[in-house]
Amino acid sequence: MNLIDLLRNVEMFEGLSSKQLKKLSCIFKENVLQAGEVVFLQGNKSENLFLVKSGFIEVIIDSQDTNINRVIRILGHGQSVGEMSWVDRGVRSATVRAVTKDTILAVASFDALDEICRKNPKIGYRLFRNIASDLSFRFRQDVGTNSKRQVY
């Protein structure tokens, strides 16, 4: 599968034209990882967005209180990780590592994403709109499963 087809299948890039996807594809590089290889560590500085092209990665939360690592999500083809850090430039909120042999990730630097969005405001608008929509959906689901939380 080529990179443009991958982008077309990633929720974050939904609604972009083929021409816009082609512009975006130029900033991604492929990275091949082996099972157990760490993509990034919780608490580290954020610099890149990652898309799963093939294989699987796991998202792990390290609980400071109990010193227990908990896998909270397994991500596969067409899923992304790092968009929250791109939005707020915060440190990584979880550790991510490859689960399968020869996991292929498409990687783009935040600086390159920022430049594309500055030069192409329609792309930037769509990306941030999609990210906001996804985060809103996740939040609403989380609130629905945790009755102690209230939304104002």
CA 47 – CA 1 distance, rounded (Å):
25
Domain hosting 8: range is: 3-144
pLDDT (tens digit per residue) in 50-91: 999 999 999 999 877 677 888 989 999 999 999 989 989 989
pTM: 0.87
The total number of structural domains in the chain stands at 1
The verdict on residue 72 lying in a domain is yes
Q: What is the residue-level pLDDT of the chain in tens, covering all 152 positions?
A: 699 999 999 999 999 999 999 999 999 999 999 999 999 999 999 999 999 999 999 999 987 767 788 898 999 999 999 998 998 998 998 999 999 999 999 999 999 999 999 999 999 999 999 999 988 887 787 766 654 444 43
The verdict on residue 149 lying in a domain is no
CA 145 – CA 147 distance, rounded (Å):
6
What CATH number is associated with residue 20? 2.60.120.10
The verdict on residue 69 lying in a domain is yes
